[in-house]
A and B are shown apart, each in its own frame.
Chain A
Amino acid sequence: MNYEESKAVITYTGEGWNANAKSLLEAVGADSFEWRRPLGRGPKHVRVEAALFAAAEAPSNRPMIHTFWSACTDVDTWRSSEKDRVERWIRSIAAGVEWLVVLAAPKVADKARTELKQSERCISSRDPALLRRVRQMLLTAISNEEQRLGQEVRRERERRNEQGWSFGEYLALQEQLAALLGTLKGAEDEALVQYDELDALFTQFVRNASLIGKVNFVLRNEKQQHLNFLSEPPPWLNSFSAPLKEWRGLGIDSNARFAIVNSDASLLQLRVYLFTRQLNLLLKMNQPQQIAERCLPLLQICSNELRILEVDFPEGAASCWAVQVSLQVLHVCRKYPDQVHSLPAATLCDYACQKLFQLGELLGLMPGGQGPSSAQIDAALWLGAGLGPEPPFGGEQLKEALGSPAAFQKLYLELAELALGTFKHLGRSRSARQLGHQLANFHQLRGDPHLAAAYLSDALTAVEGWPTLEIHILSQLAECLTGEKLAMARARLAASLTLELEVRKQHWHQLLQILKTLDDDGCVMPLEEVFDLVSVTPISGHRQQAYVNINSRLPEAVLVNPSLSVQTSLPQVSRKESNPRGRRLRGNFSACLSSEPIKIQPGLNEFILNAQGDLHTGHLSQLSLIMNDKMDFVSAEARLGIIEVKKGETTISVESGQLLARMPQKFQLRFTAGTDGIEEGTEVTIKAPRGLSLGDGGRQIVIELPKTEQGQDTVVTLEAIATPPSAKSTDIEYGLTLTSSLWDQAYPVSVHFTVPVAASVKLHTAMKTKFLQVVVSSTCRQRLMLSDPTLELSLGTCTPLPISSKPLTLDPDRPLSYIWQLEIEGPIRAKFNVNLTKDEVNGAYNCEFELAECATMIFVNSKVAAASGAEVCRANAMCHLHLTVEASEAIGYSLMYELLADQSMWAVCGRTAGVLNLDQPSHNLVLEVMPLTSGFLPHPQVRLSKYIPANAGSTHPKLEPFGPGQVYNKSKSLQVHVLPAIQSS
Chain B
Amino acid sequence: MSGCYYFYIVCHTDSPIFEMEFMPSAKEPKKEDHRHLIEFIANAALDLVDEHMWRTSNMYLKAVDKFNQWFVSAFVTASNIRFLVVHDNKNEDGIKNFFMEMYETYIKFSMNPFYKQNTPIKSIAFEKKAQFYGRKFLTS
Contacts and interface: CB of A to CB of B under 8 A. Distances in A.
A429 B43 CA distance: 11
A430 B42 CA distance: 11
A466 B32 CA distance: 13
A469 interface: yes
Contact of B13 (A434, A464, A469, A472): A464
A498 B40 CA distance: 15
B39 A464 contact: no
B103 to A, nearest CB: 20
A155 to B, nearest CB: 35
Contacts of B59: none
Contact of A466 (B43, B47, B50, B120): B43
Interface in B12-62: 13-17, 32, 35-36, 39-40, 42-44, 46-47, 50
A428 interface: yes
Contacts of A434: 44
Interface string A395-431: 0000000000000000000000000000000011111
Given A428-B47, A429-B47, A431-B44, A468 B14 contact: no
Interface in A458-517: 462-469, 472, 498
B71 to A, nearest CB: 16
A466 B39 contact: yes
B43 A469 contact: yes
Contacts of A464: 13-15
B47 A431 contact: yes
B17 A465 contact: yes
A469 B15 contact: no
A770 B39 CA distance: 107
B15 A430 contact: no
A465 B42 CA distance: 12
Interface of B is mostly: helix
Nearest to A462: B14
Nearest to B13: A464
Most B CB atoms within 10 A — which of A431, A434, A469? A469
Contacts of A427: 50
Interface residues of B, number: 18
Contacts of B13: 464-465
A625 B35 CA distance: 33
Contacts of B50: 427
Interface of A is mostly: helix
A434 B39 CA distance: 13
Given A464-B13, A464-B15, A465-B14, A430 B35 contact: no
Nearest to B33: A468
B47 A469 contact: no
B14 A430 contact: yes
A468 B33 CA distance: 9
Nearest to B51: A428
A469 B40 contact: yes
A429 B44 CA distance: 10
A466 B15 CA distance: 6
Nearest to A428: B47
Nearest to A498: B32
A474 to B, nearest CB: 13
A467 B36 CA distance: 8
B83 to A, nearest CB: 15
Given A430-B14, A468-B32, A462 B39 contact: no
Most B CB atoms within 10 A — which of A427, A462, A464, A468? A468
A434 B44 CA distance: 8
B32 A430 contact: no
Contacts of B35: 468
Given A462-B14, A464-B13, A466-B15, A472 B47 contact: no
Nearest to B11: A465
Contact of A463 (B17, B32, B43, B47): B43
A465 B16 contact: yes
Contacts of A498: 32
Interface in A254-270: none
A431 B45 CA distance: 9
A466 B39 CA distance: 7
A671 to B, nearest CB: 45
A511 B87 CA distance: 39
A275 B40 CA distance: 32
A434 B13 CA distance: 16
Contacts of B39: 463, 466-469
Nearest to A430: B47
Nearest to A579: B13
Most B CB atoms within 10 A — which of A428, A430, A466? A466
Nearest to A463: B43
Interface in B80-124: 120
Nearest to B49: A430
B75 to A, nearest CB: 18
A11 B46 CA distance: 62
A434 B46 CA distance: 12
A462 B43 contact: yes
Contacts of A428: 47
A556 B4 CA distance: 36
A427 B15 CA distance: 18
Contacts of B47: 428-431
A427 B11 CA distance: 18
Nearest to B35: A468
B118 to A, nearest CB: 10
Nearest to B37: A468
A610 to B, nearest CB: 32
Nearest to A471: B36
7 contacts: A430-B43, A463-B39, A463-B43, A465-B11, A465-B13, A466-B15, A466-B16
Interface of A: 427-431, 434, 462-469, 472, 498
What 4 A-B pairs have minimum CB-CB distances, sorted nearest first?
Answer: A465-B15, A468-B36, A430-B47, A428-B47
Given A430-B43, A462-B43, 16 more contacts: A427-B50, A428-B47, A430-B44, A430-B47, A431-B47, A462-B14, A463-B39, A463-B43, A464-B13, A464-B14, A464-B15, A465-B11, A466-B42, A466-B43, A468-B39, A469-B36
Interface of B: 11, 13-17, 32, 35-36, 39-40, 42-44, 46-47, 50, 120
